[in-house]
Amino acid sequence: MKIKLIMNLLTISILLSTPLTGCLGPADNEGNDSSESLGKLRILTYDVFAISDEMIAEFENRTNYDVELIKVDDAGSVLARALQTKDDPIADVIIGIDNSFLQIALDYDLFAPYDTSVIPNLHPEASSSYTGNLVAPYDWGRVCINYDTTYVDGENVTVPESLWDFTSENWTGKVVVQNPRTSSPGRSFLLATVDYFANDADDSTDFSDWWSAMNNNGVIVTDGWTEAYETHYSGGYGQWYDGFIGDANAVVSYCHSPGVEAYFGDNWTTSVALTLDRSSFLQVEYVGIAKGTSQSAGAQEFIAEMLNHGVQSSISLTNYMYPAAANYTLPSENGYLYHTGVPNQDSSLTPAEIGAGIDEWLNQWDSAMA
């Protein structure tokens, strides 16, 4: 009897130890048995929700590649993993590097050229930072401060006319931002402040003075966007969730976040994007072919997939970003488009300027916040 037990345990453990190669793998066997697989297509990405199981299954069926996702935590980790393995790439397609990281990726020669003829006409914003043939934009959006109009009522608290307003008593402990070292909206907003304070009237102060003042004014810094928006921001959907605190009435998010709120809230939201000139950062996210891949044809097809109708028409509701293709935009249903803020002027740092300055700016931010 004991032996039987041991045999059973062994069987179970062997079953458990057989690595289950992803639930995505077998999808291509269901449809066309006749066609041969073209091999594995490895995709390095983070939680880009536009890349859904259905989209991948559809892609595999059509092209006969076996897609293998290598998912890391966030955009920074995508770059980190790509850099770490650039001599012997672990992926064929790299998705999720944005224009704030782009220059580093270009400096380290991470991408191989793709055939630009596959991409449709783009929104001018999507091609504003980069027009070369190494990476293709698939979505974009503006990072800026959102505020809650139940707090900014126009009487006791008025709509900020300068970022300096957030260093006043009205906003003590009521602003939540993200750490630019761990969050890409955080990083984007840091870049916006660099440009904003470099171009304001006062030459004696720069962005680090503002961040010091914010630090002294009790700014809340979270690791990532979700914690900032969902837990701390009083004007967001977080109030319907467990764990909501709502201690902050302003948050660094996207200028279209109030639009998303309205979309889910029957055209109603108390959240508004603050669209001061140069206080927003136009973030563009890219997909590219990893240099050194042996699957460049497949990678090329995947780039086309990211820019085709299926992904581009739904990206505003999967990734909550603007589509890159000019034929699509944010939906107008429920006021998504209507509640989205559009600044007159975004901050204007080029990828090259960002690449040259970012290390120093991050260091300055670190010491301003220490």
Partner 1 sequence: MRKVVFHTIPAVLVILLVIAPFIIALIRLSEASEVGIFEAFSNLDNRYQTSGAIGFTLKLSAISTLATVAFGLPLAWWMGRYHWPGHRLIRALLTTPFVVPSMVATIGFISLLGPQSWLSETFNLQLWHTMTAIVIAHTWYNVALVVRLVEPAIARLDPSLEESARLLPQGNKAWKRAWRLWWPVIRLNLAAAATLTFVFSFTSFALVRHLGGPGMYNMERAMAERPFTGIIGVGAVDSEIVLAFGIIQLVILASALWLLTEFQRRGKTWLPLATEKSTRLPLVNAQIPKLLMSLAILAAIAPLYFTIIGSFSIAGNFSTQAWYNAFSTNSEFTLLQPLLNTLRFATLTVLIAIPLAWLSANSVATLEKQEGWSSRYARVLDVMVMAPFALSAVMVGYGILIGLSHISNSLLLVWWLPLLAHLIIALPFAMRVILPAMRSLDPSYLEAARTLGASPFTVLFKVHLPLLRGPLIVAAILAFAVSLGEFGATWLLWNTPDWTTLPVLIDRAYSRPYDPLARSIAHVAASLLLITTLTLFITAERFRMAGQEGEF
Within 8 A by CB and 6+ apart from 7, the residues are none
User: Quick one: 16 or 201, whose CB is closer to partner 1?
Assistant: 16
CB of 88 to partner 1, least distance (A): 4
88 binds partner 1 (CB under 8 A): yes
Report the residue from 22, 26, 39, 132 that binds partner 1 according to the rule CB under 8 A.
Answer: 22
Q: Which listed range, 92-100, 147-155, 202-210, 358-366, lies at the site for partner 1 (CB under 8 A)?
A: 358-366
CA distance 228 to 244: 10
CA distance 343 to 154: 20
User: Quick one: 90 or 297, whose CB is closer to partner 1?
Assistant: 90
Report the residue from 38, 57, 69, 326 that binds partner 1 according to the rule CB under 8 A.
Answer: 69
In this structure, are residues 140 and 321 in contact, taking their beta carbons and an 8 Å threshold?
A: yes
* Sign of the CA dihedral running 318, 321, 325, 330: positive
- Residue 165 tokens read as 């307003």
* Sign of the CA dihedral running 84, 139, 334, 268: positive
230 binds partner 1 (CB under 8 A): yes
222 binds partner 1 (CB under 8 A): yes
Report the residue from 40, 61, 64, 74 that binds partner 1 according to the rule CB under 8 A.
Answer: 74
Within 8 A by CB and 6+ apart from 212, the residues are 368, 369
CA-based nearest residue to 164, from 126, 125, 137, 204 = 204
Q: Which listed range, 114-122, 140-148, 234-242, 342-350, lies at the site for partner 1 (CB under 8 A)?
A: 234-242
In this structure, are residues 346 and 273 in contact, taking their beta carbons and an 8 Å threshold?
A: no
352 binds partner 1 (CB under 8 A): no
Side chain identity at 332, as an amino acid letter? S
Cα of first residue to Cα of last residue in the chain, in angstroms, is: 65
CB of 286 to partner 1, least distance (A): 17
Binding mask 301-340 for partner 1 (x = CB under 8 A): -------------------x--------------------
SS3 label, residue 315: helix
Note the residues at the interface with partner 1 (CB under 8 A): 12-13, 16-17, 19-23, 47, 53, 68-74, 76-77, 79-81, 83-85, 87-90, 104, 108, 176, 179, 181-182, 220-227, 229-230, 232, 237, 240-245, 260, 264, 320, 359, 362-363, 365-370
